[in-house]
A = this chain, B = another copy of it.
Amino acid sequence: MTSEHRVAVSGGTHGNEMSGIYLAKHWLRNPMELRRGSFAVTPFLGNPRAIEKCVRYVGRDLNRTFTTEFLSSAEAEDKPYEVVRAREINQTYGPKGSAQAFDFMFDLHNTTANMGACLIVDSEESLLPMHMCHYIQVGPAPDLSTRPALGQGPLRSAGEALELGPQPQQVVRADLFTQMRDLMACALDFIELFNKGTVFPAFEIEAYKITGRMDYPRYPDGEISAMVHPKLQDKDFLPMNPGDPIFQTFSGEEILYEGDTTIYPAFINEAAYYEKKVAFAKMEKHMFSIPGLQRE
C-alpha cells in the first residue's frame, strides 16, 4: 500500500446531517486545519441542493446512488439530481479503484441512533481503515473512539462513512461537532504517520458485521403498528437475545425478538430509516486479527 496523498472529506451527503455539513463549511473557510506535512485534505459539500433545503435528499438518496447502475447509465434529462451529483463526485474524486481516484475519502454522517462514533468499512480486509479505527481507539486521545462496522453492501457511499450519533436531523450539537472534528484530526494524524513510514503492528479488534435489517410491525394497511421498545431504545451495539422485547405497539403490547441467536442491533430508531422500512440493523460481533501495516 502506497502513501495516501489525495484525501477528500465530504459533509452533507445527506443534507440534514449537520455535524459534517458545518464541519465542511468550516474547513472550506479554514482549510489549514486539514493540512498535514505529507498531504492536505479537500473538503466538499456532498449534496448542495439538499443542504440548501435542509433535507436528506431532493430526488433520491445520494448515499444509494454510487453504484455502477447509476454511475454508468446513459445520460438523460429526467435523472434525479443525485444521479447527476453522484457522477460529478465520481468524476472528481474517483472513479473508485482507478489510478486517478483519490487515495482516501471520508464521508461524514449523523444518525439519530445512540451509536456513538462508527466507521463503516467494506470489510476487515480494508487494512488502512481498520488500522485507523484501532489508532483512534488506543491512540493519543483517550476519550475518542470509533467502532468499525463491516459490510456496506447496498449502503455503499462514495467514501468511508463516519457515523456519529445521537443527533436530531437539522440540528448541530456543539458536543458532537467537536467530537467529529477531533475524530477527523486523529484520523488525519494517523494517515500522516502512515505516509511517513510508521510501522503499525498487528492487533486484534472487535468489529460489527451488518447481517440484515428488521422492519417495524405493521397494520394490514402498511402503517406501522409499533415503536421501538423503550428497553431497546438507545441500546445500539448491546446484545439482543431471543425473547428480549424489541417493539411496543401503540396500544402497549410488547413484541419479543424471535431470532435464535444473539445479535447486536445498530441504527436503532434512525429517523431516515422509517421510509426504508428499517427499525434497526442487525449486526454480529466478531473479533478479527488484523495484520500489521506499513507504507510500501
Inter-subunit contact A174/B271 (CB<8 Å): no
Closest to A227 in B: B174
Inter-subunit contact B169/A25 (CB<8 Å): no
Q: Count residues of chain A with CB under 8 A from any CB of chain B.
A: 35
Interface residues in A190-233 (C-beta closer than 8 Å to B):
223, 227-230, 233
Inter-subunit contact B228/A275 (CB<8 Å): no
Inter-subunit contact B233/A175 (CB<8 Å): yes
Q: Is A177 in the interface zone, CB < 8 Å from B?
A: yes
Q: Given A227-B174, A230-B174, check contact A251 B169 (CB 8 Å).
A: no
Q: Is A168 in the interface zone, CB < 8 Å from B?
A: yes
Partner of A168, one of B229, B251, B271, B275: B271
Q: How far is the CA of A30 from the CA of B166 in the complex (A)?
A: 33
Closest-CB distance, A78 to chain B (whole angstroms): 21
Q: Is A262 in the interface zone, CB < 8 Å from B?
A: no
Closest-CB distance, A9 to chain B (whole angstroms): 15
Interface residues in A125-180 (C-beta closer than 8 Å to B):
166-175, 177-178
Q: Which of A55, A167, A229, A230 has the most CB of B within 10 A?
A: A230
Q: Given A227-B22, A230-B175, A248-B174, check contact A169 B54 (CB 8 Å).
A: no
Contacts of A173 in B (CB 8 A): 227-228, 230, 233, 269
Inter-subunit contact B26/A251 (CB<8 Å): yes
Closest to A252 in B: B178
Contacts of A172 in B (CB 8 A): 227, 269
Interface residues in A11-49 (C-beta closer than 8 Å to B):
22-23, 25-26, 30
